[in-house]
């Protein structure tokens, strides 16, 4: 398979037509090899307009959704990002290419380990990876300029809002399948937010997003 041609076709036929024209984002998608983050059995589908299955019953977002999200975030080189749901590590790599530092948390140890190996192999060193359940007690050491949630939630959990610095942004997909809403929320100050509806989509639930926190004795 000609991966370079397939990558070019993905950008020209899927991503540009979906109004993704940000040069930094397009350059990332042309230079970070998505096929290296896809499970081997699905490698030939790396650039198809589908959600690619991962282990642990997770998926990679469709390429054009990843691209629209990255464009909407308008990341700056001096910003820090918290990614909730490392998954394959591909979005992690893209965020790391746009921001100063990325903290990413994944509930499944297997996905965490696989993503860590891929990111290390790519020489991406401005990423810090954790295993944890954001709905069951895990929390970042500090707030971040941008928070990205790669799984859907019925409604935005209150703690997610507290992890965004004033002036920062939160990308999240909310609602019920099959018509969910991708939203960009901007924190104007301590208590006020603005909100933009980006597009409709359908994304698997963030693991444990509807469960109460677990306590161990």
Note the pLDDT tens digit of each residue in 114-165.
Answer: 999 999 999 999 999 999 999 999 999 999 999 999 999 999 999 999 999 9
Q: Is residue 83 within 8 Å of 61, Cβ to Cβ?
A: no
Q: What is the pLDDT of residues 20-52, one digit of tens each?
A: 999 999 999 999 999 999 999 999 999 999 999
Please compute the mean of the pLDDT values over residues 56-60 and round it to a whole number: 94
Strand order in the sheet with 193-201: 127-131, 101-106, 80-84, 144-149, 164-176, 179-187, 193-201
Percent of the chain with pLDDT over 90: 93
Return the domain boundaries, the chain: 3-201
pTM for the model: 0.93
Whether 217 has a pLDDT exceeding 70, the answer reads no
**pLDDT at position 214:** 38
Q: Give first-to-last CA distance, the chain, whole Å.
A: 53
Please compute the mean of the pLDDT values over residues 200-214 and round it to a whole number: 72
Please compute the mean of the pLDDT values over residues 74-102 and round it to a whole number: 98
Please, which pLDDT band fits residue 56 given cuts at 50, 70 and 90? very high
Q: Is residue 38 within 8 Å of 89, Cβ to Cβ?
A: no
Please say whether the dihedral angle defined by the alpha carbons of residues 70, 15, 87 and 203, taken in this order, is positive or negative.
Answer: positive
| CA proximity to 143, closest of 216, 80, 188 | 80
In CATH terms, the superfamily for domain 3-201 is Vaccinia Virus protein VP39 (3.40.50.150)
**pLDDT at position 208:** 77
Please, which pLDDT band fits residue 207 given cuts at 50, 70 and 90? confident
Whether 210 has a pLDDT exceeding 80, the answer reads no
Lowest-confidence pick of 37-51, 134-148, 168-182, 197-211: 197-211
| CA proximity to 2, closest of 44, 34, 55, 37 | 44
Please compute the mean of the pLDDT values over residues 4-23 and round it to a whole number: 96
Q: Is residue 92 within 8 Å of 99, Cβ to Cβ?
A: no
């Amino acid at each position: 398979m000609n991966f370079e041609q397939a990558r070019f076709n993905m950008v020209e036929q899927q991503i540009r037509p979906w109004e993704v024209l940000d040069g930094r984002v397009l350059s990332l998608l042309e230079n970070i090899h998505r096929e290296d983050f896809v499970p081997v059995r699905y490698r030939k589908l790396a650039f198809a307009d589908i959600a690619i299955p991962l282990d642990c019953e997770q998926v990679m977002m469709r390429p054009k959704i990843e691209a629209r999200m990255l464009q909407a975030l308008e990341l700056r080189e001096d910003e820090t990002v918290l990614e909730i749901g490392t998954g394959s590590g591909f979005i992690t790599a893209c965020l790391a290419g746009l921001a100063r530092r990325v903290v990413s948390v994944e509930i499944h140890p297997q996905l965490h380990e696989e993503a860590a190996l891929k990111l290390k192999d790519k020489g991406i060193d401005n990423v810090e990876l954790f295993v944890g359940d954001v709905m069951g007690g895990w929390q970042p050491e500090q707030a971040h300029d941008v928070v990205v949630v790669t799984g859907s939630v019925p409604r935005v959990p209150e703690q997610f809002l507290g992890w965004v610095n004033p002036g920062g942004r939160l990308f999240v997909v909310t609602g019920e399948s099959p018509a969910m809403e991708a939203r960009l929320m901007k924190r104007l100050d301590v208590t006020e937010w603005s909100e933009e509806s980006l597009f409709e989509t359908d994304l698997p639930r963030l693991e444990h997003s509807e469960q109460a926190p677990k306590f161990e004795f």
